[in-house]
Amino acid sequence: MDRVNVRSDEDLMLAVSEGDLAAFEQLVLRHQDGAWRVAYRYTGDATEAEDLAQEAFLRILDAAPRYRPTATFRTYFYRVLTRLCLDHRRKKRPVLADRFPTTEDRSPSPSQQASRAERDSAIQVALAALPARQRTATILRYFEGLSGSETAEALDVSPKAVERLLARARETLADHLKDLVQE
């Protein structure tokens, strides 16, 4: 693919604001996997994660005429998605998954599968134990790779507040996962 012809997310979103649904489709294709991962880590349920990701895209489409690129599209999108996840959590306690589903099967041994399932379950339980803001900051920063400033923009807090949220989350996670780390 020729890099010269690749449009930025912000350019695509501006095109969407003018009614270009092909641009919206490109945005969905670029961000759907990440959106699902965030929502899944938050809910522990694949179907609910899919619903939340779709709802986030629908809200982005609905808000397109009002879009102004004051932040990166990615940050803007994750702000919408995390608010949906927070609202979802307020309405319903998360259902913890036994393991994080994989998209490709490399046929690990049964003992590796059992170990991975135990680890994934422990991580999901530890994440669920975090307060909502700490959990969201952790998912965005460590699982989705947003920078500290992008995470701050997505959560609508200062970068210093993100640092504090992550520090408290690391302490809590270390306590919950100490047995896993010692293995």
CATH for 165:
1.20.140.160
Q: Is residue 160 part of a domain?
A: yes
Q: Is residue 103 part of a domain?
A: no
The answer to whether the beta carbons of residues 23 and 7 sit under 8 Å apart is yes
pLDDT digits (tens, 9 = 90+) for 10-21: 999 999 999 999
C-alpha dihedral (141, 93, 82, 48), degrees to nearest 10: 100
The answer to whether the beta carbons of residues 139 and 41 sit under 8 Å apart is yes
Q: Is residue 27 part of a domain?
A: yes
Q: Is residue 2 part of a domain?
A: no
Q: Is residue 170 part of a domain?
A: yes
Percent of the chain at pLDDT exceeding 70: 84
pLDDT at 86 exceeding the cut of 80: yes
Q: What pLDDT score was predicted for residue 94?
A: 45
Q: Is residue 1 part of a domain?
A: no
3-class SS letters over the chain = CCHHHCCCHHHHHHHHHCCCHHHHHHHHHHHHHHHHHHHHHHHCCHHHHHHHHHHHHHHHHHHHHHCCCCCCHHHHHHHHHHHHHHHHHHHCCCCCCCCCCCCCCCCCCHHHHHHHHHHHHHHHHHHHHCCHHHHHHHHHHHHCCCCHHHHHHHHCCCHHHHHHHHHHHHHHHHHHCHHHHHC
Q: What pLDDT score was predicted for residue 102?
A: 56
Distance CA 85, CA 3 (A): 34
What is the band of 179 on the pLDDT scale with cuts at 50, 70, 90? confident
Backbone dihedral angles phi then psi of residue 102, each to the nearest 5 degrees? -105, 150
Q: What pLDDT score was predicted for residue 125?
A: 82
Q: Is residue 166 part of a domain?
A: yes
Range of the domain at 71: 7-98+108-182
Using N-to-C axis directions, what is the helix angle for 21-43 and 73-91, rounded to 10°? 40
pLDDT digits (tens, 9 = 90+) for 46-84: 899 999 999 999 999 999 999 888 878 888 899 999 999
Structurally, how many domains does the chain consist of? 1
Q: Is residue 155 part of a domain?
A: yes
Q: What pLDDT score was predicted for residue 142?
A: 84
pLDDT digits (tens, 9 = 90+) for 108-134: 677 676 777 777 777 888 888 888 888
